[in-house]
Structure 1
């Protein structure tokens, strides 16, 4: 276990004042009062809802032994309290020192964009593994170091968790770190101090406007990965208009454009069918590369991965194997059931993602297309009627239900969705389990069902509770009860 004396840890850190200072041993760093380890140094950082010092009592109760804050301590303070001018900078400097600057000892690859990030990082990980490298992965679904993994709480962890993870990865002998980089993480500087071997941009469409306000501000946050951080190569999907715009901010010596028709890296003879995807990539091979993944959007993901592998000069057999075996939980995942019905689970939770998934299944479905979906609570409300419009356009039968309502009334969320579905009469079933069960039992032999929005998730957020819930499990139960 890493440990520092407090004086040693604070050496070279600009400090305004020290109160009740004494030499103690610090064994952990934390900025979350709910997740304090014994002998932690606690960073009292403000949130959107409260002042950082408001969390100090809980932090002390849970095991913190010292506090860093931008304000002086209360009069009854009895522990070491360090006052600094910029607590964000202090947190970064101490994380680098405590965890031994892990990003200097591992090659990092980050991807940002609205859709496709998770699929892309999973395939990137497999390419490197097939090439013989030990890899660490940070994704929306899970965090993985070698063969050890755990479920993710955030797409991109907080800064201290990120540094701790990278340090463990380096200690485990990982040579590469593959990660999704969210717009929230970029805006909140969670990846401060990182440098990258490669950075990638997939696409951008409406999402997270509850946080960013406008699509332009959302794009500005995503752009920070390419303007505020050091990297060797930037791979940009220029088939997306926002990708084209992004290229102007990137040095020509580092830019690699990727696109179907234009770009430094472009495919030939792209074929997308119910059997999967095939494309010829002249920079890699004259023979077509194939994958069992379906959909035009996955062709974009595969193309971006292939371009990335080309830039890194990774062996072609490793690329081929990774693309052929590509599988991502909760992303166009066909769920087994004893009735042999075609039921897909997908994480699509934006208008663009939902439309792309529906288009793919519509092309392979010889019967009626059924859809179960909802929208998350306490999130971008403007996309709800847009998703309703998409659902109305492509599905023959539709169940509008709860997603993760959080603190909102599920029925009010559904009402927002229905404003985009004036031309159809969807089934409204607030209980997601009931909606999925009804939809499964309504399927005929040639029909297809998409259960969208939650994908890999094994929980449902209702109020302040995180309840066990898996779309895949409910589907299995619907056919096996």
Structure 2
């Protein structure tokens, strides 16, 4: 019996408190004590359903001296009032290519890859009426006015302001120009080492269940309701044709151009100026609530200084909350945890109003107590825990299979039963964080349950179900810790065999590659190493780094072979192919650099109750390879699309008589070749090798 089928039985086992709260009237929301201009979030308020029909954002304009004065850039305001008092500003922009007439252009070095002169020239050509640029370095301080590097491109009628910190100035100007939009919404900020994206999406689900039009700032997308926003807060529009629009999948060994897509900037912090513009785009279109994924480096650099928060959610301050020191990750991750803690301390210092603010904190985290002491009871705190049973929100029981997870959650208001497709202990913590946020917002418990259960997060433990007898899971796990968590969850859920398809990105931290290989090897039945995003690195080098994490006895077993067998067969001579295939088959450790092929190999081999885990890319719908000119070429490839396409073709494989798909490679050709050759490749002479190559060509 599946978990969904057990719900009725569980409800009969005495969860009366849940039923009472499901029927109870709304008891209010955090905003009851908030400023009068904030929209409410209580479920019984007459807010209407989210709609894609939005009000038009208002036209805005400032005299330049007034804008800089209200932004507390007083020296600049005085200078502008004296010299350029009539200039009217109609926007603030950090990307020179997106400047429109009337904009202030704020130059952020390195943002678009152009140098200062090039970027400013583009902005002026686009219609910028004022330029803000960083102070010149000390070596330039002796230059005369005519030697100002921008003097030859900035005309006399356009003010040029040099400031110490353009990021700070840009944030101030945008917050002023757009009237600090977070103050007009109930705003939830999510920070932590892990779980930010998943928690943010779950919280959005709860708020949407309350009937709110919700804005979201996350690493996957910026959005209002069902519509995506670009980094300037405009509704995203497809501006070019999408070559993949009519395709069922990509193709093997070839890139389909990546065009006409919503480009997701994973791992890149949204500049403070743009954070204000995105939030304004939400508020101006009617959003009453915003959920913001906060990057720790952004908190430290002041990116969110002008974002007012009602609820701060801290998912994790330590690398592995609730696990012993022996299971903690590398020094690199520990250093990131130090950054997160420092950022969270800054965030906590902004929580000062018990009437309008609250903190949600992971009680399993060893650093949580220290943070609570720093707060000193200044705002209400709601804690949650998987391990710490003294928390306000606790998982009393956890049941899972290879498709979904069922939780019984204790809250201050009663018990909840939640069924979610999110798998793993780490995702249990994310669900609890969302529940605790709902409690902090005084949302009805029934709405918390319904909101969480309705959420499907792209590429986060995303189950691809086309009616097959086995599970296919797409997950963004791209670190050893995240991959291990997901594999542990699948094993605990009863997977008969686990097929792990993964790779590592090129031009990124190579030190994790052998650790990824070790985790995949130790926790999987079948491993298929494939490309993730090779970029400018040789894919074979990335694969070799991963294979270095396999046990020494496995690797050394083939040290005498003419070619190392754990590589893509396209990189060895044809005569060696059967030996390579046999070594990979005997160990169930395969290398297929082409991700299209690797996904289909795993899905075609899996049987009933097995799990195919497509790890690393999550909802990324692109792949990056090196172009001949040394640049990076981006093509379309989406694990979810490829998985669905592969599953749709299984029926054709099943129609082939006596076709063995129990292991790789499929069929029986390898057995015949090995019987014919009947020789150890390590013993082959050069002459024999040449003869084999001729016979098999």
Above 0.5 in TM-score? yes
- Of stretches 40-49 and 428-437 in structure 1, the one that deviates more from structure 2 is 40-49
- Tell me by how many angstroms 1:409 deviates: 3.4
Please tell me whether residue 205 in structure 1 is matched to residue 333 in structure 2: no
**Aligned pairs for 1:162-201 within 5 A:** 162-201=275-314
Query: For the Cα contact (< 8 Å) 1:15–1:84, is it kept in 2?
Result: no
- Tell me by how many angstroms 1:86 deviates: 3.5
Query: For the Cα contact (< 8 Å) 2:319–2:329, is it kept in 1?
Result: no
- Which segments of 5 or more consecutive residues in structure 2 lack a partner in the other structure? 1-58, 137-147, 230-261, 321-327, 555-586, 627-631, 650-697
* Structure 2 CA distance for aligned equivalents of residues 209 and 201 of structure 1: 21
Which structure features the higher share of strand residues?
1
Please tell me whether residue 75 in structure 1 is matched to residue 161 in structure 2: no
Show CA shifts across 1:359-396 (max 9, x none): 11122344321001122333333322222221111111
- Tell me by how many angstroms 1:338 deviates: 6.3
- Which segments of 5 or more consecutive residues in structure 1 lack a partner in the other structure? none
Q: 1:267 is paired with a residue of what secondary structure?
A: strand
CA RMSD after TM alignment: 3.1
* Structure 2 CA distance for aligned equivalents of residues 445 and 289 of structure 1: 26
After superposition, the Cα gap between the structure-2 partners of 1:208 and 1:198, relative to the gap in structure 1 and judged at 3 Å, is farther
Show CA shifts across 1:260-283 (max 9, x none): 324441425312221522213141
* Structure 1 CA distance for aligned equivalents of residues 521 and 459 of structure 2: 23
Query: For the Cα contact (< 8 Å) 1:209–1:215, is it kept in 2?
Result: no
What is residue 270 of structure 2 aligned with on the other side?
157
Query: For the Cα contact (< 8 Å) 2:479–2:516, is it kept in 1?
Result: yes
* Structure 2 CA distance for aligned equivalents of residues 290 and 305 of structure 1: 14
* Structure 2 CA distance for aligned equivalents of residues 215 and 171 of structure 1: 35
Q: Which has the higher contact order (CA 8 A, sep 6+)?
A: 2
After superposition, the Cα gap between the structure-2 partners of 1:391 and 1:192, relative to the gap in structure 1 and judged at 3 Å, is same
**Aligned pairs for 1:335-414 within 5 A:** 335-337=464-466, 339-414=468-543
The TM-score, its normalising length taken from structure 1, stands at: 0.89
Please tell me whether residue 36 in structure 1 is matched to residue 73 in structure 2: no
* Structure 1 CA distance for aligned equivalents of residues 297 and 634 of structure 2: 21
Q: 1:88 is paired with a residue of what secondary structure?
A: helix
**Structure whose alpha-carbon radius of gyration is higher:** 2
Show CA shifts across 1:84-131 (max 9, x none): 343333212211221112122112111122332222112211211222
* Structure 2 CA distance for aligned equivalents of residues 160 and 451 of structure 1: 36
What is residue 214 of structure 1 aligned with on the other side?
335
* Structure 1 CA distance for aligned equivalents of residues 168 and 495 of structure 2: 58
What is residue 11 of structure 1 aligned with on the other side?
69
Query: For the Cα contact (< 8 Å) 2:502–2:616, is it kept in 1?
Result: yes
* Structure 1 CA distance for aligned equivalents of residues 365 and 538 of structure 2: 35
After superposition, the Cα gap between the structure-2 partners of 1:11 and 1:364, relative to the gap in structure 1 and judged at 3 Å, is closer
2:612 maps to which of 449, 452, 460: 449
1:479 maps to which of 641, 644, 647: 647
2:591 maps to which of 428, 442, 446: 428
**Aligned pairs for 1:116-131 within 5 A:** 116-131=195-210
- Tell me by how many angstroms 1:208 deviates: 13
Query: For the Cα contact (< 8 Å) 1:459–1:466, is it kept in 2?
Result: yes
1:60 maps to which of 111, 124, 139: 124
Q: 1:108 is paired with a residue of what secondary structure?
A: strand
Query: For the Cα contact (< 8 Å) 2:363–2:391, is it kept in 1?
Result: no
Query: For the Cα contact (< 8 Å) 2:117–2:150, is it kept in 1?
Result: no
Query: For the Cα contact (< 8 Å) 1:194–1:229, is it kept in 2?
Result: no
The TM-score, its normalising length taken from structure 2, stands at: 0.63
* Structure 2 CA distance for aligned equivalents of residues 65 and 122 of structure 1: 39
